[in-house]
């Protein structure tokens, strides 16, 4: 039997909602994105009274999920609040994207009262069939853990689910019934830590194995994917690079995670589409330390990767595989820290740092895709946060070597257009003291444009570069170059901020030449305001890499008898025996 006196000393009374907010605060979450609804209003009353966490109302739930995704990439974790059914299903596309990209987002849905669910009442925002499991079933596909809170299970379940979010770096799902948020329960005075800690014996065994492997290595190398950032491996990997002078490459899904100007950066690894030196050092390594790369068609040269399996150290979030042997219950960052402490330093060899190209704007030259991205790269600075849409802007900038210290935010696996603008809201709130830059196409912008109003309402001052090329350029170069289904309405973009704020609160400009863009950038930088620069481009112009990517994607998606072979604008596209080689080249970087 529990001693009441001891229980009073080790626990305290708190409402379920207050305990949930306290645990979110323990994760470093300072903002909660979402949309109010009648099933979550009681929790919003508790948010209003909580210290250290603010509610950020977005224009819709999908945008809230995208904003939470962007926030978590810089902050380490985030939270989104929706209402049952209509709200949470609106957000689920963004939540699935966070799951695909290993982004820890706590999804809280205000659910109908517990008594209504227990009696299977037919309520609004449901299918009116008394089924209250269907929404959790949907979220179970895209979250690492799920729960429905009750007064009996709340404290333990909150801790369990949030720990899973931290451990697996994926979204989790919490149903908060509207009649339990104010229920008082006993919670631990010293709440358990949510961070996953390595098993000491497994960590030691893995470390000794890695040191033995390292001692015989003559061609070590590092291969980065974005899990290096998600699981806190960047700092120890930087230390490893410097101490042991190890060359490194990255997948295109991990752009800017480490310095691209460093003399030991090899370049992007894209399977057979890689530069010869990159491919040789990665595929020929006798000790390849890889941060759990996940290969998709676009970052693997159409699945032509060939890692040296027997000589690869695969670092996952909760396990490590060394020469085919798996060590479970290990945090890779903790293993790397111990490893760096024990290895011998290597004398730094003279190397050549990549310098940015000496590029100058031609004042009267029209903006073209062939030159625009060098102009944009020249504008970027160390410590910038650069948010790009997974289309023309990402393909264009991914070909450029960018300054050290940039956080490059892109949804490269989920690749949902419309992600970038609300993600910018999240990144700007996560780290408001850094310069925030968004590069987005007009088609993507129109999907989530209303979130510009939230950015302005909160007084945020990002630099927004909008590519106006009259539609979905990336789709045009796959299929339907001149078809109406790839067109979008031509908005008066530079006037749009005036709908949401006074005209003296922002700067906007429409540019058509390199000189005009250069002048607009200088003017925007001199002002402490949000800026929106609309860049007008030829609808049928694209970065060279997008041109080849489009043809290759059409062949991959539609096959040898697909409609791309009958479209006039695709005349001359590669076919037959040249098709596979063309597809590989399409996914290769130009760096």
The residue ranges of every structural domain in the chain are 4-188, 200-342, 369-542, 545-586
Please state the CATH superfamily assignment of the domain spanning residues 369-542 in this structure.
Answer: Thiamin diphosphate (ThDP)-binding fold, Pyr/PP domains (3.40.50.970)
Cβ neighbors of 36 (< 8 A, separation 6 or more) are 44, 57, 83
pLDDT below 70 — which residues of the chain? Answer: 1-8, 350-352, 355-357, 567-591
Helices and strands: H and E segment counts in the chain: 23, 21
- CA 103 to each of CA 79, 137, 409: distance values in angstroms, whole numbers, following the listed order: 11, 20, 12
Q: What is the pLDDT of residues 515-543, one digit of tens each?
A: 999 999 999 999 999 999 999 999 999 88
pLDDT of residue 553: 86
Q: What is the pLDDT of residues 101-149, one digit of tens each?
A: 999 999 999 999 999 999 999 999 999 999 999 999 999 999 999 999 9
Q: 162: closest CA among 140, 142, 146, 186?
A: 146
SS3 category, 34: strand
- Return the bridge partners of 464, or none: 438, 532
Give residue 358's pLDDT: 74
Element of type H or E holding 47? helix 41-49
pLDDT at 8 (0 to 100) = 66
β-strand pairing of 11-15 with 184-188: antiparallel
Q: What is the DSSP string of 270-299?
A: BTBTS-HHHHHHHHT-SEEEE------TTT
**Which pairing describes strands 463-468 and 530-536: parallel, antiparallel, or unpaired?**
parallel
Measure the CA–CA gap between 174 and 157, rounded to whole angstroms.
Answer: 9
CA angle 322, 216, 342 (to 5 degrees): 75
In degrees rounded to 5, what are phi and psi of residue 137?
Answer: -60, -40
Same fold, 200-342 and 369-542: yes
At 81, phi and psi to the nearest 5? -120, 125
Q: Supply the pLDDT for residue 432.
A: 97
**CATH annotation of 4-188:** 3.40.50.970
Query: Which DSSP symbol is given to 310?
Result: G
Compute the distance between CA of residue 512 and CA of residue 260 in angstroms, rounded to an integer. 30
Sign of CA dihedral 533, 539, 545, 551: positive
> Rounded CA gap, 81 and 53, in Å?
13
Residues near 341 by beta carbon (within 8 Å), at least 6 away in sequence:
none
Q: At what angle do helices 332-342 and 200-215 cross, to 10 degrees?
A: 50
pLDDT at 75: 98
| Topology of the domain comprising 200-342 | Rossmann fold (3.40.50)
């Amino acid at each position: 039997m529990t001693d009441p006196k001891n229980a009073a000393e080790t626990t305290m009374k708190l409402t379920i909602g207050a305990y949930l907010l306290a645990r979110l605060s323990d994760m470093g979450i300072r903002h909660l994105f979402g949309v109010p609804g009648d099933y979550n209003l009681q929790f919003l009353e508790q948010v209003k009274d909580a210290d250290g966490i603010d509610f950020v109302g977005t224009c819709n739930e999908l945008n809230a999920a995208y904003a939470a995704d962007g926030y978590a990439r810089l902050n380490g974790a985030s939270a989104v609040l929706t209402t049952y059914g209509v709200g949470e299903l609106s957000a689920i596309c963004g939540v699935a994207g966070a799951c695909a990209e290993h982004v820890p987002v706590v999804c809280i849905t205000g659910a109908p009262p517990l008594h209504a669910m227990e009696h299977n009442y037919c309520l609004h925002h449901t299918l009116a069939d008394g089924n209250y499991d269907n929404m959790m079933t949907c979220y179970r596909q895209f979250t690492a853990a799920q729960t429905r809170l009750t007064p009996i299970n709340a404290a333990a379940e909150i801790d369990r689910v949030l720990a899973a979010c931290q451990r697996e770096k994926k979204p989790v799902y919490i149903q908060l019934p509207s009649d339990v948020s104010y229920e008082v329960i006993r919670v631990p005075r010293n709440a358990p830590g949510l961070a996953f800690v390595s098993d000491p014996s497994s960590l030691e065994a893995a470390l000794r194995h890695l040191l033995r492997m390292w001692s015989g290595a003559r061609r070590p190398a590092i291969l980065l994917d974005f899990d290096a950032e998600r699981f806190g491996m960047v700092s120890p990997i930087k230390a490893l690079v410097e101490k042991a002078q190890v060359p490194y490459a990255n997948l295109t899904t991990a752009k800017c995670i480490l310095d691209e100007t460093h003399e030991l950066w090899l370049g992007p690894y894209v399977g057979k589409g890689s530069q010869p030196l990159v491919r040789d050092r990665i595929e020929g390594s006798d000790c390849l330390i890889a941060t759990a790369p996940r290969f998709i068609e676009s970052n693997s040269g159409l699945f032509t990767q060939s890692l040296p399996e027997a000589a690869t150290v695969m670092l996952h979030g909760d396990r490590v595989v060394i020469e085919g042997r798996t060590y479970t219950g290990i945090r890779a960052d903790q293993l790397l820290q111990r490893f760096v402490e024990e290895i011998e330093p290597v004398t730094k060899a003279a190397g050549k740092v990549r310098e940015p190209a000496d590029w100058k704007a031609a004042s009267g030259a029209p903006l073209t895709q062939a030159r625009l991205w060098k102009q944009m790269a020249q504008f970027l600075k160390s410590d910038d946060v650069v948010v790009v849409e997974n289309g023309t802007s990402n393909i264009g900038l991914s070909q450029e070597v960018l300054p050290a210290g940039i956080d490059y935010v892109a949804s490269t696996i989920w690749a949902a257009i419309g992600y970038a603008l609300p993600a910018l809201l999240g990144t700007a709130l996560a780290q408001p003291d850094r310069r925030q830059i968004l590069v987005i196409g007009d088609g993507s912008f129109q999907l989530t444009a209303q979130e510009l109003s939230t950015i302005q309402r909160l007084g945020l001052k990002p630099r927004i570069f909008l590519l106006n090329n009259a539609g979905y350029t990336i789709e045009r170069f796959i299929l339907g170059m001149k078809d109406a289904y790839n067109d979008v309405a031509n908005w008066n973009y530079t006037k749009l901020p005036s709908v949401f704020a006074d005209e003296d609160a922002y700067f906007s400009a429409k540019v058509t030449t390199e000189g005009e863009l250069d002048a607009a950038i200088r003017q925007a930088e001199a002002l402490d305001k949000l800026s929106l620069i609309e860049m007008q481009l030829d609808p049928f112009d694209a970065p060279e890499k997008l041109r080849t990517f489009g043809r290759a994607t059409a062949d991959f998606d539609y096959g040898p008898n697909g409609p791309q072979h009958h479209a006039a604008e695709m005349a001359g596209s590669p076919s037959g025996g040249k098709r596979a080689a063309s597809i590989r080249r399409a996914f290769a970087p130009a760096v």
